[in-house]
Amino acid sequence: MTQSLFIKNAAQLITMAGHSNNPAVKEAMSELNILENGSVFIQDGKVVAVGSESDLRKTYGSRLEGTEEIDATGKVVTPGLIDPHTHLVHAGTRENEYAMRLKGKTYMDIMESGGGIHATTRATQEADEDQLYEESSKRLDKFFEHGVTTVEAKSGYGLTLEHELKQLRVAKRLNETHDIDIVSTFMGAHAVPMDEKENPEPFVTRVIEEMIPEVAKQELATFNDVFCERGVFTPDQSRRILEAGKKHGLIPKIHADEIEPYAGAELAAEVGAISADHLLRASDEGIKAMAEKGVVGVLLPGTAFFLMAEFARARNMIDSGVPVALSTDANPGSSPTISLPFIMNLGCLMMGMTPEEVLTATTINAAHAIGVAKEAGSLEEGKRGDVTIWDVPNYLVLSYQYGMNHVDTVVKSGKAVVV
């Protein structure tokens, strides 16, 4: 049966049209392509057209008969938000470490003494698939309520073949059962297991020779990510892991220069990564190399906020020609949030981005960071009918008022859910 939806007369319909082939850079990050009093017609899950209500009625008169309608008068309509970097599938929380950090312990101290990623790895290894599914599904509901229709999800709390595959199977099942679309990333190289810290090479070999081939064979991931950081994986180990992934069709991503400058941005450009993420301490050379190669900089200001660290130099990156996207980094240790709208606030207030740039960074540029820009991230003919309707009179309010949820309705593939 043909299903259709007509969202009519939004005060501002932000289409983000025109950036599907390449991510928006520099001034293009401010081109939102806004229709005042705009409407969008969605049929069979895909956008048919955007325009004024009267034009669309003229063109599609008979096709619009009997169509479900949403009156968006006085509201803002955007493409469904896209979160391009999450550690969605995991068990448990780490508020105990938060309390320790507030007393002066650092994130890396805690990790080196067996907490941090290791703590969540233990909890995730112990959890069965159904438990992980339930916990993660609840998190996804919250993402959806905050206007997000696509998320990337990483493994990396398994650290053995068995448990990494388990996490990825949960992400696959969530993609099949939940309204939100999930793009999966293998991140076996998220930490060196505690008992191998002194001699990490055998673990690196297992990631390369055992885990990557099996993940690729089972088609459980699109991307391959590594935590390139002093005390975790060196640039040389990271390079080998990312090159090995490429041989098996997994596209590289990197957790780069998060805690210390470590030439992660440079490595991202060298291996042709689709994105380099974090970049709090990225060097000038690294930023230049990313701009030259078109590597998307996925910035995670929630992590800087929560770790009480210096923020990434978003302004410098945008002005240098790096396509910038924004993400929550949702995870229990360094960024326990699912609110991409709050990340927009931080993008503006703490990283000098404009309200236009943060919208681009959470829609079409986020889509480019996870390779889905042909299907999602803008409201254009043929793209998925993924739409967020916000109960605000203009888009400036989205990154101005903070700590509140302005979502009115989320539409996933043409199906409307009132939030």
H or E element that contains 247: helix 235-247
Interface with ligand NIG (CB under 6 A), residue from 53, 225, 329, 357: 329
Q: Of 87, 151, 153, nearest to 120 (Cα)?
A: 87
Chain residues 155-184 in contact with ligand NIG, contact rule CB under 6 A: none
Smallest gap from residue 96 Cβ to ligand NIG (A): 13
Among 155, 167, 185, 331, interactor with ligand NIG by CB under 6 A: 331
Residue 85, annotated ligand binder? yes
- 113 assigned binding-site residue: no
Q: Write out the DSSP string of 302-331.
A: HHHHHTT-PPP-HHHHHHTT--EEE----B
Annotated binding residue at 333? yes
Stretch 120-159: interaction string toward ligand NIG, x if CB under 6 A: x---------------------------------------
| Site membership for ligand NIG, residue 275 (CB under 6 A) | no
Give the CA angle between residues 216, 217, 222 to the nearest 5°.
30
190 annotated as belonging to a binding site for a ligand: yes
Identified binder of ligand NIG from the candidate list 53, 152, 257, 258, rule CB under 6 A:
258
**DSSP structure class, residue 395:** G
Residue 398 CB, shortest distance to ligand NIG, in Å, is 25
Closest CA to 361 of 383, 350, 377: 377
User: Which of 181, 258, 266, 329 is in the footprint of Fe ion by CB under 5 A?
Assistant: 329
Shortest approach of ligand NIG to residue 141 CB, angstroms?
21
Answer yes or no: is 329 a known binding residue.
Answer: yes
Contact present, 332 and 120 (Cβ < 8 Å): yes
In angstroms, the CA 103 to CA 95 distance is: 13
User: Does 116 contact ligand NIG by CB under 6 A?
Assistant: yes
Residues 281-310 that bind Fe ion (CB under 5 A): none
Interaction between residue 229 and Fe ion (CB under 5 A):
no
Binds 227, which of ligand NIG, Fe ion, none (CB < 5 to 8 A, cut-off by type)?
ligand NIG
Among the listed residues 271, 298, 270, the one whose alpha carbon sits nearest the alpha carbon of residue 285: 270
Contact residues for 112 (Cβ-Cβ < 8 A; gap 6+)? 231
Phi, psi of 8 (to 5 degrees): -115, 145
Residue 399, annotated ligand binder?
no
Q: Scanning the structure block, which residue is given the tokens 């088609």?
A: 219
Tell me how far, at minimum, the Cβ of 3 lies from ligand NIG, in Å.
38
Distance CA 356, CA 35 (A): 14
Strand, coil or helix: 238: helix
- Total site size for Fe ion, rule CB under 5 A: 1
Look-up: residue for tokens 């001034």?
Answer: 27
Contacted entry of Fe ion, ligand NIG, none for residue 258, CB cut-off 5 to 8 Å set by kind:
ligand NIG
Instruction: Give residue 195's Cα distance to chain centre.
Output: 31
- The reply to whether 90 sits in an annotated binding site is no
Residue list for the binding site for Fe(3+):
85, 87, 255, 329
- Residues near ligand NIG (CB under 6 A): 87, 116-117, 120, 227, 255, 258, 303, 329, 331-334
- Residues near Fe ion (CB under 5 A): 329
